[in-house]
Structure 1
Amino acid sequence: MSDKPAILGNTPVFRERLPIVQPTLPPFEAIASQVEEILSTGMLTKGKYLRLFEERLAEYLGVRHAVCVSSCTLGLALTYQGLELKGEVIVPSFTFMATVHPLVWVGVEPVFVDIDPHTWNIDPAKVEEAITPRTSGIVAVHNFGNPADVEILEDIARRHGLRLVFDAAHGFGALYQGKPVGGYGDAEVFSLSPTKLLVAGEGGVVATNDDALAEHIRIAREYGNDGRYGSNFPGLNARMPEFNAILGLKSLEMLEENAERRNQVVKRIRERLERLPGLNFQAIRPGNRCSYKDLSVLVDESKFGLTRDQLAQALDAENIETRKYHDPPVHTHNTYRHLRERHVGRLPVTEWVAPRSLSLPIYSHMDEAIADGICYAIERIYAHADAVRAALVAHQ
């Protein structure tokens, strides 16, 4: 077979579509008895499996409280509410929109700051520059599962008397200096959706050592009802069903194995693709472990010979699905158009990284043959970059 890429007429590397993600799930037999129990008893929510899941999560994360909710987004919203954020809150723009939207829901103005050019996480120096008398908090993100500079951010928050929340949506499986992320700042909020390493179907977790905040989240997820059928404040329905807790419990048992396996797969891919000019990967600080919820590369057209979008098109022809996560960055969304003037020229790294970032397929049970196939597809696209670019331009 010719080494030309599929976009130039060759057979695709993969006969069937390779999805961007495949959740690593337990066999049904592993949860069948628990599922049968909740169906036979009718205890579908607010039951023993939710309590057990919260206990196991708190133990794993090393925190006093792990409060389960129906989504990470609602977990963030209720956390922002419980911390009584007001005025301005500093947040990265290179993130998923759900990091920022709940700030608006609680009446806070987001102030976007730039990211570190190597880790792609919020830049602590830019955070400190952005603090004003109106600032009430900082929201940082463990982007793609790469732990943020938590201790530096904690020091900044402490010195300025600010609240600190970590959007840890990608965080299960990530380690900061050998410890699971989860116990830093005022709270860390995780996602349990199917794209994550710890899967509950849907759901979120608010991890905190703040007793008052944990109690607020527990009441807030019940409409603000403290059990007396009134409401102390406007809460929401953010309960996690028993089925999700059952699935989450089994997924938690698999988490360490899945995180280690995913890191092995990424190591294999990185070692091969880092040989190609113009492909750059996230820097992981020494002593940390990335969960690699996503495996993203930066495509430098001047060295690789193709733009990010051209590489994505060529990979599509190889039956490899990709994603352009965090592009466009949040500060450019129509939702925040009223803030654009404030941020003009202030996020150069974000605006350089976002249009060049491409996430490749990654999942915890990916075997070596699949990983090698992804690498081979990219290698042969690079080897014929000029012809690929010409073909794509001709078909525009």
Structure 2
Amino acid sequence: MARIEGVLDRNWLTNGGPLVEEFEGEVAAVSGVRHAIATCNGTLALEIAISAAGLAGEVITTPFTFVATAHALRRLGITPVFCDVDPVTHNIDPAQVERLVTPRTTGILGVHLWGRPCAVDELTDIADRHGLRLLFDASHALACSSGGRMIGGFGAAETFSFHATKFVNSFEGGAIVTDDDALAERARLIRNFGFADYDQVRALGTNGKMAEVAAAMGLTSLESRDRFTAVNHQNHAAYRTGLAGVQGIEVVPYDDEELTTRQYVVVEVDETAGLSRDDLQEVLWAENVLARRYFYPGCHRVEPYVTEQDEQRLLMPATDRLAHRLLTLPTGTGVDATDIDVIAGIIERAVELGPLLASALPRRQPAPTPVAPMPSDGQASPE
């Protein structure tokens, strides 16, 4: 509130005020890069980074991500070429990326899902050999590392989201981070309508600026990131303990050798659980536990992509499998060990009664194709 009152006292509400500049400096420091360009949301951060990197034609990306990743490309007239994911890491599979490179390919857009890093070295090698630009959607990965190096400095640029449901939030916001001086300069131009000075427009741009009140929240949130991380680690460990030995339920692990914020608790529900992931979600919702299926049904199966691609392009077996098996559970500072004990107990009991519950729950009709995306709610929209 002191920061917000300062904004009002200064009468400087937007257009690169002192709090935005301070926030950019802090984000750059956390990420170990020279430049952070704050934006009004994570989607525009992606669009601006894509434009500043000069991408066009086709860009290879993952279908197992929030739809903003694909939409940012498509809205700029670029064709997202979906590449299936590694079933273990849940990230884009570099072994399949190279087969998708065509003369129209200009870049690769990876996503560090759950804050677990992509195969950065392999993707960098592919991009270098084919003369492609490499970008990363790092919306889940602020303050995480890959190979001991902070996420933020890989590829030509990476982008963060500071949506209200994120580990660090600015109410709504985003940022582009990079060590590429020229790309950073272009991104700053694009973010502010192409203005290079008071009345000098030097490029095609948009209005992607972060407001001062958002930066006030972002700075305040950053100050608490160590506490947020500690709570998330405790919660993740508590879920792993509480669900250990529950048949058919696996808590997706993080690499203890890397810095991770563990802002997501993801469980994989397999057939041995005796009930489906969707059945388990219905049980949890009935108990007011708002678990969420991510990223159902995959970008390749929502509009406009599902009707634009031939059947062969829709074959994403690893993505389809994960989209029908993964469930995220409540975590963060609003959840404590007692809550987790209750949630784990509900899941354990649901599995014990799996076949009985499955037969009692209403039967869903198979979703038609094309499949509409789920409506967004809070961290259901991990932009």
| Fold conserved between structures, TM > 0.5 | yes
Q: How far did 1:133 drift?
A: 2.0
CA deviation string 1:136-173 (max 9, x = no partner): 10001011221211122112212221111110111124
Candidates 214, 227, 248, aligned match of 1:244:
214
In structure 2, the partner of 1:110 is 80
Task: Tell me what 1:333 maps to.
Answer: 302
* Deviation of the 1:286 alpha carbon: 5.8
Say whether residues 1:322 and 2:285 are aligned partners. Answer: no
- Paired residue type of 1:347: M
Cα displacement (A) at 1:112: 0.3
The 3-state SS of whatever aligns with 2:201 is coil
In 2, Cα distance between equivalents of 1:368 and 1:100 = 37
The answer to whether the aligner puts 1:77 opposite 2:47 as a matched pair is yes
1:348 to 317, 321, 324: 317
Q: Which residue of 2 aligns with 1:4?
A: none
2:377: which partner in 1? none
- Whether contact under 8 Å (1:197, 1:364) holds in the other structure is no
1:361–1:308 distance in 2 versus 1, CA, 3 Å: same
CA contact (8 A) 2:31 2:142 kept: no
**What corresponds to 1:37 in structure 2?**
6
The separation in 2 between residues aligned to 1:100 and 1:136, in whole angstroms, is: 15
Alignment check: 8 A CA contact 2:229 2:263 kept: no
The residue type equivalent to 2:78 in the other structure is V
Q: Distance in 1 between matches of 2:117 and 2:173?
A: 21
TM-score, normalised relative to structure 1: 0.87
Deviation string for 1:26-81 (max 9, x for gaps)?
A: xxxxxx22211211221111211111111111112110101100011001101111
Cα deviation for residue 233 of structure 1 reads 2.5
Deviation readout 1:92-124 (Å, 9 max, x if unpaired): 001011001111122211110011111111111
Residue 373 of structure 2 corresponds to which residue in structure 1? none
The reply on whether 1:293 has 2:263 as its aligned counterpart is yes
Q: Is residue 145 of structure 1 aligned with residue 115 of structure 2?
A: yes
Does 1:372 pair with 2:341? yes
Tell me what 2:369 maps to: none
Q: 1:395 to 1:83 in 2, by over 3 A?
A: closer
CA distance in 2, matches of 1:258, 1:238: 28
Name structure 1 gaps, 5 residues minimum. 1-31
Q: 1:318 is aligned with what amino acid?
A: E
Relative to structure 1, the CA distance from residue 34 to residue 284 in structure 2 (aligned partners, 3 Å threshold; closer, same or farther) is: closer
Q: Which amino acid in the other structure matches residue 389 of structure 1?
A: A
Q: Secondary structure at the match of 1:226?
A: strand
Post-superposition shift, 1:229? 2.0
Over 3 Å counting, the alpha-carbon distance change for 1:160 and 1:282 in structure 2 is: farther
Tell me: CA distance 1:395–1:50, structure 2 relative to 1, closer, same or farther (3 Å): closer
| Percent of residue pairs bearing the same amino acid type | 38
Is the CA contact (8 Å cut-off) linking 2:189 and 2:203 kept in structure 1? no
> Could you tell me which amino acid in structure 2 is paired with residue 64 of structure 1?
R
- Contact residue 145 and residue 174 of structure 1 kept, 8 A: yes
Aligned residue in 1 for 2:167: 197
1:321 counterpart letter in structure 2: L
The Cα offsets for residues 269-318 of structure 1, whole Å up to 9 and x where unpaired, read as 02332412212333534623443332222211x20000111101111121
- Give, in whole Å, the separation in 2 of the partners of 1:178 and 1:280: 26
**3-state SS of paired residue (1:115):** coil
Q: Residues of 2 paired with 1:394 and 1:234: CA distance?
A: 51
Q: How many residues align?
A: 364
Instruction: Give the residue type in structure 1 aligned to 2:265.
Output: L
Conserved? CA contact 2:158–2:177, under 8 Å = yes
What are the ranges of 5 or more consecutive residues in structure 2 without an aligned counterpart? 366-383
SS of residue paired to 2:224: helix
Counterparts in 2 of 1:258 and 1:178: CA distance versus 1, 3 Å: farther
TM-score between the two structures when normalised by the length of structure 2: 0.90
Deviation at 1:384, TM superposition (A): 1.3
Q: Does the CA-based 8 Å contact 2:242-2:340 persist in structure 1? A: no
One-letter code of the match for 2:171?
A: G
Change (3 A) 1:374 1:179: farther
2-side partners of 1:122 and 1:380: how far apart?
A: 35
Matches within 5 A, 1:72-221: 72-221=42-191
Question: 1:100 is paired with a residue of what secondary structure?
Answer: helix
1:384 aligns with 2:366: no
Distance 1:163 1:265, change over 3 A: same
The letter of the residue matching 2:9 is S
> 1:388 corresponds to which letter in structure 2?
L
Select the structure with the greater relative contact order (CA < 8 A; seq sep ≥ 6).
Answer: 1
Q: Give the Cα separation in 1 of the matches to 2:339 and 2:262.
A: 17
The amino acid across from 1:284 in the alignment is Y
For the 8 Å contact 1:120–1:282, the answer to whether it is kept is no
The SS at the match of 1:68 is strand
> Structure 1 residues 173, 369: CA separation in 2 closer, same or farther (over 3 Å shift)?
farther
